[in-house]
Structure 1
């Protein structure tokens, strides 16, 4: 885990990205949200920890999400879902609407029975695309104690295909490999200095089902068993 993931679990275990400027992403999201319910959009100018703290409490269902500008062509998505960010719908839909590439990156650690691990790399919007604008997907997931291996689409030039032949599924795709693949595309979302101090907080303002659970980042760290240094 990176220091950023240790401080903001499980939100920063999985992120989405769109290869498009923040303002264009927010405008597209605003039009989309207007069709499916009422949402409030709040421009933020502060450092990354302050932005992420605005997601508290983490809840189920999710009620808030962030778009964050980066020092690259990519804009990052995270939300306050209590079991970790769930970027699939916004990245799949908005990458098609904006005609840009999208990424979903999961580097969830495997912590015995406290947290089931996953390494996942999804690329959207790069031809050829299939259902939901998906171009390529690779994942190694601990599904309740048993590891599963899933792939979709043609391998990309930078992939380590030899690693996929490993008999141990959990070692076919690691978090380090996901980070390396993302850096090849100019994205490095699991480190704090990758981010600018500009973002947008989107909050649902219409009715939604009763929240079944709410936790703070501190409570999440304790339940997972993360001990921060310093």
Structure 2
């Protein structure tokens, strides 16, 4: 497995997974219960495996391997803000866009999708989606707000949905370059309004190192499995 560089955090080392993840405003136990029930209803109880996640942060992420386009393994971790972080073993991020709406409907709480493609990514971008079943503005009844500044196949786009929150710095959205209208610094300032003041390893290292949860189902037939090294080297996309 890839050894992190001296200045590289666990969060950065696992950027294939952490570049796109979910946050749910509920405890790990509550999120795990809802997630397990969803998996059992989808895949059958006999195909769902649940294990405890504890120990150093690096070991918790290592339990997600191998990485797979099927995203058949989920890691739930408590954060310093009390929200639960939701990661999956995808090769291009955890892709929480389907899990978050289901969980907010089931639990009746807020959730977020956070996507920050690093400078090393082929297509960079910052995306923030807020789901709130009690204050939604979409026909599905879950999305409250979304903001995206991303390189979409070679061209930068800036898109928003929903009414801005009072704390948003909307003047930033008029920057000449679309990539400058919503960046990591601005995202982090918005997260503080929800009590989320840490980022990276600090966010995932609450006092007492409470246990998390790994939920696994079989990958679909023919789905290829990759090591972290292979994904970081771009092997899944090589022809």
Fold similarity call, TM over 0.5: yes
Q: Is structure 2 residue 125 aligned with structure 1 residue 118?
A: yes
**What does the per-residue CA deviation read over 1:75-105, in whole Å, with 9 as the maximum and x for residues that have no partner?**
0001111111111111111011101110111
Offset, 1:132 = 4.9
Deviation at 1:122, TM superposition (A): 0.7
Q: Runs of 5+ in structure 1 lacking a partner?
A: 225-230
The alpha carbon displacement at 1:48 in A equals 1.6
Q: Name the counterpart of 1:26.
A: 32
Tell whether the 8 Å contact from 2:74 to 2:86 is kept in structure 1 after alignment.
yes
Among 188, 202, 205, the residue aligned to 2:215: 202
CA contact (8 A) 1:93 1:132 kept: no
Name which of 207, 230, 238 aligns with 1:219: 230
Gaps of 5+ in 2: 1-6
> Among residues 72, 77, 87, which one is paired with 2:81 in the alignment?
72
Query: Equivalents in 2 of 1:20, 1:147: separation in Å?
Result: 34
After TM superposition, where is structure 1 displaced by more than 6 Å over at least 4 residues in a row? none
Q: Given the alignment of the two structures, is residue 84 of structure 1 paired with residue 93 of structure 2, yes or no? A: yes
| Contact 1:107/1:178 (<8 A) preserved | no
Aligned-partner Cα distance in 2 for 1:182–1:126: 19
Residue equivalent to 1:170: 179
Q: Is the 8 A contact 1:22 1:67 kept in 2?
A: yes
Q: Normalising by structure 2, what TM-score?
A: 0.85
Q: What is the root-mean-square deviation of aligned Cα atoms in Å?
A: 2.1
Q: 1:182 to 1:116 in 2, by over 3 A?
A: same
TM-score (norm 1): 0.88
